[in-house]
Structure 1
Amino acid sequence: MRTAIYDGLRFTAMSSEIKAAITRGTLFGLASISILALLPLIVRDQLGGGPVAYGALMAGFGTGAVFAGISNNLFRRILSQERLMTLSCVACAACSLSLALTSSLAVAAIALALGGAGWVTAWSGLGVSVQLASPRWVVGRTVSIYYALIDGGIAAGSWVWGTVAQNHSLTLALEGSAGALLLVAATGALFPLRERRESEPDPSEEFNPPAVALDLKPRSGPIVVKIEYLVAAENVESFLDLMRERRHVNSRVGARHWTLQRNLQEPVQWTETFRTPTWTDYLRLNHRLTEADKELDKRVLLLHAGEFPPQITLSIERPTGPNRKSEQSVPYFPRR
């Protein structure tokens, strides 16, 4: 269980697409939740209404959400994901600001319809971005991390805007929320939502487990992998650039303690080394590599100057000390 959780956290931390979606979602939830969290106060204190007014405003919010859901495919054909996220933030900011300034039930209902449309458009786009950026072997874990963090942002935002409304004013809380939503839209410059590539990041099926001379169990390990390359001096810089990408790829799918060494006696020889906790983890690592990762391997192979392919050596670490403590005789004391 711990290994599975660690793999999900590591993959999420090393995926720029997932990190951008989680960051934008958490900030959007924190800033936009004021619309729903403060709605009862808006109805009571600003509109002077009751349960019927509250229901009408929620109906307006739901109507906008339904319209956005129906039109979602059309929006995505004509607009990029980043543009849709920006428009969603602007729509929710306009909703929050309108609620802060109006005392009309009809205007508030129209504003909430706009906010509902922005709400659904933002969340649907972010959720799809996380799922499409995750291979099948880790998608459940990345989606769980995504929902945990955005729910945390929603919870924190509810407390923040409620505190502002209680200690200052309801109008200030809604205006602050509108300003925060515009800042979330601006964070696209730092955390852009990328468009999906034509090929999905699903694992490649082309891997045959190597033959080994030892009788390894699934939990045998740690496994040490060494790959030796021969690289000409004029290709060293290009080789290092590719190996930086390779380090990121291998670490993302489960490699640990990744290093690259250069032979001091024969400078043309380079050795890539990494470890996996068990034999099963090594097999999983290779099954998790995508077609795009395989293309990176081919680019590295083009820089290999040897007559034969790079030599791959698999080893298993063994401690030099005793595997277990020696058994000691336990004195027997008869009961009285």
Structure 2
Amino acid sequence: MAAPRTPASSPWAPLRHRVFAGLWVGVFFSTLGVWMQTLGAQWLLVETPNAAAVVALVQVATTLPMMLLALPAGVLADVFDRRWLLLVVQGYLTVLAVLLWVATVTDRMTPWLLLGFTFLLGVGGAVQIPTWQASTSELVPRAQVRAAAQLEMVAINLSRAAGPALAGVIIANVGVSAVFGLNALAAVPMAVALLLWRREPTLTPGGRERFWSALRAGGRYVWHDADSRRILVRLAAYLFPAAALWALLPLAARRFGVGADGYGLLFAALGVGAITGALVLGRVRRFLSTTRTLTVSGAVMALALVLLVTVPSFAAAVVVGVAAGVSWTATISTLIAELRLFLPAWVMGRGMAVYTMVFTGCQALGALLWGLVAGWWGLTATYVICAVLSVVAVVAGLVWKVADAGEHAPDPVVYWAEARVSGDPDPDAGPVMVTVRYTIAPDDEADWLAAMRHLRRSRLRTGAIRWELYRDAEYPDRFVEQFRVGSWQEHLRQHEGRLTELDRQVEENAMRFSDPPVTATHLLPP
């Protein structure tokens, strides 16, 4: 049975929290600066030899760090204080933006130097985005997490619409260097909001995690947690065909014989739809579950892709663009909010980092693929193919549903008894083998094995690197569960802060079949 949904909140409710409101404004200006800087970099390179290839590399230099570094950045967001991490990133971005401005003003800028600066700025964004996304759940009450995700989409789409337009006006009247200078100033609101944030220090059970073990632990959690995995798969299934909408939009506009102004209007229609969707989604969510919301928005995207290449008038295409924008925001904000509601605090940054990697990667790879397909078969065939894939994703989503997050946060629950060991093991000793012995009546065996499949996922997502189940060859009603953990310190984290109420329910459901009760032992390296 699906968990009860968290009650829908007013779309503006998160802005009543001073820290969230300040950081929301900071994210808007920071994203605005990124869009301005991207357009400025592309404009500065249009007169260079091989301009088409070099200009395309600007987008590559912006997105590549996100795909490569988002997960390590998520580790940093979970291991270190997020406020200080964001402050360091803002300082780093400001220094780079100032250096970029100085190099441009003094005519020392070369194409490769500009691409290098763009890449380094992308590195800062790769750290900033998952850290900010992981911070949202601690800035607003759980009931307002969905509304906060919708407001973030408003900020992103406002900056996406205003940034290029504003940069174009500034470049035409002042020059590219002014855009780079404003990008440096765009980091100031975020820095001020961070300085005003008095974040309560959080204690990590077992001390600060080491980087590589934390990286592996985050990957294991996302891989073995069914809810997180379904959200990410649904995100990829939606984004991959929908990427054609943004990538081929200039071609869709050219179909109607309009110029740059017409393309800008069609792009603006997507932005208006995205903002509208963010503002109305809170009310819609009072009546629709997560699955129904994703189904409706996916169907709207499929229909919009077909209509953009079949409607006879440009005015109709603008209306279709608004509908596509609503679908985009409804899907993205719903999935990111549900992921935040499902993830425990100890792995929030890493989970949001994987989300960022999927989001960026699907758009980048989708844009590349659909551009090639459009070159081979034409725009209409490409959009129809993408529409069909969107319908397939909708149908698959009705079978493998994304559950609604419950009202209760996945807070840590300490319910394991203290490990019975002789002495005080070295924290780095490992691997550690934990064995649990069960005695199961033959009539209960099938139900118990079904419960153990859920327990296996619980062990693996909270720290185990291997899990196995054996039957005693001499006594067929006796079973031994074994799971291996990388180190004693990693196992203590399971004892002290990684398990949640859901893990306890899963474990109790499996252990209730054992008569006599289970016994557990810990095996350490000699």
Same fold (TM over 0.5): yes
Partner of 1:38: 248
SS of residue in 2 equivalent to 1:257: strand
SS of residue in 1 equivalent to 2:262: helix
Shift of 1:132: 2.1
Distance 2:315 2:369 in 1: 28
Residue correspondence of structure 1 range 244-259 to structure 2 within 5 A: 244-259=453-468
Determine whether 1:178 maps to 2:351: no
Shift of 1:225: 1.6
**One-letter amino acid of the structure 1 residue matched with residue 389 of structure 2:** A
Give the TM-score normalised by structure 2.
0.56
Aligned residue among 500, 507, 521 for 1:297: 507
Distance 1:245 1:150 in 2: 28
Shift of 1:144: 1.4
**One-letter amino acid of the structure 2 residue matched with residue 291 of structure 1:** E
Q: Deviations over 1:264-287 (max 9, x none)?
A: 444454332222121111111233
**One-letter amino acid of the structure 2 residue matched with residue 5 of structure 1:** L
Determine whether 1:142 maps to 2:142: no
Partner of 1:118: 327
Residue correspondence of structure 1 range 279-294 to structure 2 within 5 A: 279-286=488-495, 287-294=497-504
Partner of 1:5: 215
Aligned residue among 275, 283, 305 for 1:74: 283
SS of residue in 2 equivalent to 1:138: helix
Q: Structure 2 vs 1, CA of residues 234 and 107 (structure 1 numbering), >3 Å: closer, same or farther?
A: closer
Distance 1:99 1:264 in 2: 65
SS of residue in 2 equivalent to 1:194: coil
Partner of 1:16: 226
Partner of 1:313: 521
Partner of 2:41: none
Partner of 1:83: 292
Distance 1:186 1:99 in 2: 22
Shift of 1:82: 1.4
Q: Which moved more, 1:30-39 or 1:223-232?
A: 223-232
Q: Which moved more, 1:253-262 or 1:25-34?
A: 253-262
Distance 1:253 1:160 in 2: 37
Q: Structure 2 vs 1, CA of residues 161 and 298 (structure 1 numbering), >3 Å: closer, same or farther?
A: closer
Aligned residue among 307, 322, 340 for 1:98: 307
Distance 1:235 1:87 in 2: 42
**One-letter amino acid of the structure 2 residue matched with residue 77 of structure 1:** R
| Residues 26 and 151 in structure 1, CA contact (< 8 A), matched pair in contact too | no
**One-letter amino acid of the structure 2 residue matched with residue 48 of structure 1:** G
The answer to which structure has the higher helix fraction is 2
- State which structure, 1 or 2, has the greater radius of gyration over its C-alpha atoms: 1
Distance 2:433 2:385 in 1: 54
SS of residue in 2 equivalent to 1:62: helix
Across the aligned residues of Structure 1 and Structure 2, the Cα RMSD in angstroms comes to 2.2
Q: Deviations over 1:51-86 (max 9, x none)?
A: 221222222111111111111111111111111112
Unpaired runs of 5+ in structure 2?
1-210
| Residues 295 and 398 in structure 2, CA contact (< 8 A), matched pair in contact too | no
Q: Which moved more, 1:196-205 or 1:31-40?
A: 196-205
Q: Which moved more, 1:269-278 or 1:59-68?
A: 269-278
Q: Deviations over 1:102-148 (max 9, x none)?
A: 35231111110000000100111111222222221122212211221
Shift of 1:184: 2.0
SS of residue in 2 equivalent to 1:314: strand
Distance 1:69 1:157 in 2: 24
Determine whether 1:216 maps to 2:420: no
Distance 2:304 2:343 in 1: 33
Give the TM-score normalised by structure 1.
0.85
Partner of 2:59: none
| Residues 91 and 114 in structure 1, CA contact (< 8 A), matched pair in contact too | yes
